[in-house]
């Protein structure tokens, strides 16, 4: 078919206003780019009162509808079959159907029907809103993979999905997942997450004036929503929104390429890691080049830097340990991580770096040689620590954002190769295709690390009663198994920045920050909690002894006060 004869299928545009989209072309491009389709006018139909009553009045989104009337969007292309599928998936999500159950429902229908169903409005919401309510990042990923829009909006108020997640107190991983799938961080007012912007406060003219710096993406945000966002948007979420707003956000086409290569998770890595955007960018470039072009051998990358600066996290994003390596799957895309190049690891690495792996397999009677062209070897190296730190202090420490382009990276690469030759010899070093530098964390990144460790501590304290479980006797379990709620009062960013400054050591990485949180917060809290539990136990035992006397005195006082007619009955019950 000639290219000129191909027509794009029109898709309903929920930003329609007087014969066109209410947004300018450059803004509308972001809203529609996940569909790759042209827009058409929606047809609105007022739902019945019974349909409206199905809405959950506890949701912030439902409460703040424009006029309190549900508008269900329908088009001629929406068949009853697709609508039935949409309603069935929503029902399955509400009844806690698991990932595999949802996947089976989707796979039993055509991709066109699934995509249409996932983007239909059922009582004002599309299916993906229900997955966000469930706090299920895996199902959100599944729905987007099958055509759901990560920039979907609530049809009445126009509230975008990413804001809906925050207003629903979704877990951090849900927000990270949405951002990694292409949700627009600019749907949230920039004053909330941009570290260079003036912060809004809960008092004063900021909230009375409402969303005064509104952009087309934030027109949904009323003064009520500003208050709600301030209550729910913590420092960690603000950090991830800021990262997602950077200049290196992958386009739709790049996402499609990496999905076809089986390495989509690599593009999503920056949204789940803290820092190391420069290292992730270089890894992405080398992996894409290696997998797109025909290759005869494995790609070998050396991760160099001080310990605990994201090397293992990035490798684990799509990798397996060298101990779990199977030579029977070399024709698949495989990332093999060598954290400690001992004798066994060195043997496996040598095998992978050969032009062909040893062994054959049968394919319809014809032998074919197992190749390692889709294998990516990652060697974690700590022998180059001094070279990395000296370079960072001399060229980048004062102003990384402005200096990294002009830094002498070529000089650093040569120095690092000399270090590798001294450690591993020239033969192995010559097989390294690229050296990926993992640099010390910035001030903002160390504060984000502190927040992550405090958040982890908060969740573990909240489940302390589950940790103790049956280890205690029935007499003490009621006292020692109470949940502990950790709440930090004051400016979050200032608190986490202070914790990071006192604990982070660039020679030790994230581990030093974690140890600082343990020393400054975890140990004192556990000590106070233990003393409080002991005090409560003593009080409970003392209360039991005094309780009978106090209850008897109280009842006798009541008996004396009551009329003589009721006194015999009450005494009989005592």
Domain at 278-319+331-346+369-398+406-440, CATH from 3.40.605.10, 3.40.50.300, 3.40.718.10, 3.90.420.10: 3.40.50.300
Q: Which two tokens stand for residue 476?
A: 């003490």
Per DSSP, which regions of 49-202 are E strands? 71-74
Query: And the tokens for 291?
Result: 């997998």
CA distance 73 to 125: 10
- pLDDT at position 22 is 54
Interior CA angle at 51 toward 50 and 52, to 5°? 90
CA-to-CA distance for 294 and 297, rounded, in angstroms? 9
CA 324 to chain CA centroid, Å, is 27
Reported as a single tens digit per residue, the pLDDT across 238-289 is 999 998 887 777 877 888 888 888 888 888 888 999 998 889 999 999 999 9
Site of tokens 């545009």: 13
Give the residue extent of every domain in the chain.
7-42, 96-198+215-245, 278-319+331-346+369-398+406-440, 444-571
Measured CA distances, 2 to 5, 8, 10 (Å): 6, 14, 20
CA distances from 461 to 250, 454, 473 (A): 38, 10, 20
Reported as half-sphere exposure (CB side, CA atoms, 13 A), residue 39 has a value of: 20
**Cα(546)–Cα(572) distance, rounded to whole angstroms?**
23
pLDDT of residue 39: 57
What's the pLDDT score for residue 468? 64
Tell which residue, 157, 166, 170, has the closest CA to residue 189. 166
Two tokens, residue 459: 């969740």
pLDDT for 206 = 52
Q: pLDDT tens for residues 156-189?
A: 778 999 999 999 888 999 999 999 999 999 999 8
Give the pLDDT of residue 317.
67
DSSP bridge pairs for 153: 160
Report how far residue 359's alpha carbon sits from residue 367's, in angstroms, rounded to the nearest whole number. Answer: 10
Residue ranges of the chain with per-residue pLDDT less than 70 = 1-79, 195-214, 317-332, 340-371, 399-403, 465-483, 535-574
Rounded distance, CA 511 to CA 507, Å?
Answer: 10
Kind plus residue range of the DSSP H or E element containing 87: helix 80-94
Give the three-class secondary structure for 463: coil
Nearest Cα to Cα of residue 389 among 507, 510, 508? 507
The pLDDT of residue 435 is 93
CATH architecture of the domain with residue range 96-198+215-245? Alpha Horseshoe (1.25)
| Residue 45: φ, ψ to 5° | -135, 125
Q: What is the pLDDT of residues 427-438, one digit of tens each?
A: 888 889 999 999
Rama region for 422: left / alpha / beta (φ>0; ψ in -120 to 50; rest): alpha
Tally of residues, the chain: 574
């Amino acid at each position: 078919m000639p290219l000129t004869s191909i027509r794009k299928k029109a898709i309903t545009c929920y930003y329609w206003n007087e014969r066109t989209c209410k947004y300018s072309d450059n803004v509308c491009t972001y809203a529609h780019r996940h569909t790759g389709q042209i827009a058409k006018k929606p047809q609105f139909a007022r739902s019945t009162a019974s349909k409206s009553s199905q809405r959950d009045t506890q949701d912030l989104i439902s409460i703040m509808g424009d006029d309190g009337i549900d508008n269900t969007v329908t088009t001629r292309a929406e068949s009853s079959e697709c609508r039935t599928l949409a309603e069935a998936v929503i029902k399955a999500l509400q009844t806690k159907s698991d990932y595999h159950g949802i996947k089976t429902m989707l796979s039993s229908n055509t991709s066109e029907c699934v995509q249409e169903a996932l983007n239909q409005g059922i009582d004002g919401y599309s299916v993906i809103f229900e997955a966000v309510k469930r706090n299920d990042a895996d199902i959100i990923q599944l729905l987007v993979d099958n055509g759901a829009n990560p920039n979907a909006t609530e049809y009445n108020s126009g509230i975008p999905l990413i804001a809906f997640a925050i207003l629903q107190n979704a877990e951090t991983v849900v927000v990270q997942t949405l951002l990694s799938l292409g949700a627009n961080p600019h749907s949230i007012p920039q004053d909330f997450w941009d570290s260079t912007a003036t912060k809004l406060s809960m008092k004063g003219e900021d909230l009375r004036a409402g969303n005064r710096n509104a952009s087309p993406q934030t027109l949904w945000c009323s003064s009520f929503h500003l208050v709600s966002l301030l209550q729910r948007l913590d420092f960690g979420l603000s950090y991830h929104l800021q990262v997602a707003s950077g200049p290196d956000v992958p386009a739709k086409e790049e996402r499609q390429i990496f999905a076809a290569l089986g390495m989509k998770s690599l593009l999503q890595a920056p949204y789940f890691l803290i820092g190391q955007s420069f290292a992730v960018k270089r890894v992405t470039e080398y992996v894409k080049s290696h997998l797109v072009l025909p290759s005869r051998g494995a790609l070998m990358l050396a991760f160099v830097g001080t310990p605990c600066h994201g090397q293992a996290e990035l490798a684990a994003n799509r990798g397996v340990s060298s101990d779990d390596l199977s030579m029977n799957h070399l024709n698949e895309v495989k990332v093999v991580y060598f954290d400690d190049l001992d004798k066994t690891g060195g043997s496996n690495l040598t095998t992978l770096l050969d032009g062909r792996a040893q062994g054959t397999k049968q394919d319809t009677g014809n032998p074919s040689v197992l190749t390692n062209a889709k294998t990516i070897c990652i060697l974690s190296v700590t022998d180059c620590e001094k070279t990395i730190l000296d370079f960072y202090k001399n060229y980048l420490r004062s102003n990384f954002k402005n200096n990294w382009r002009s830094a002498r990276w070529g000089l650093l690469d040569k120095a690092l190769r000399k270090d590798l030759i001294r450690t591993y010899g020239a033969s192995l070093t010559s097989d390294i295709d690229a050296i990926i530098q993992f640099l010390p964390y910035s001030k903002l990144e160390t504060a984000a690390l502190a927040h992550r460790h405090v958040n982890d501590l908060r969740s573990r304290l909240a489940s302390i009663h589950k940790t103790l479980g049956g280890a205690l006797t029935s007499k003490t379990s009621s006292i020692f198994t109470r949940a502990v709620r950790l709440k930090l009062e004051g400016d979050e960013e200032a608190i986490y920045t202070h914790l990071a400054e006192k604990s982070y050591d660039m020679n030790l990485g994230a581990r030093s920050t974690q140890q600082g949180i343990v020393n400054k917060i975890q140990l004192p809290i556990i000590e106070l909690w233990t003393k409080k539990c002991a005090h409560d136990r003593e009080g409970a035992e003392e209360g039991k002894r005094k309780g009978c006397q106090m209850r008897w005195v109280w009842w006798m006082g009541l008996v004396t006060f009551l009329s003589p007619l009721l006194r015999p009955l009450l005494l009989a019950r005592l």
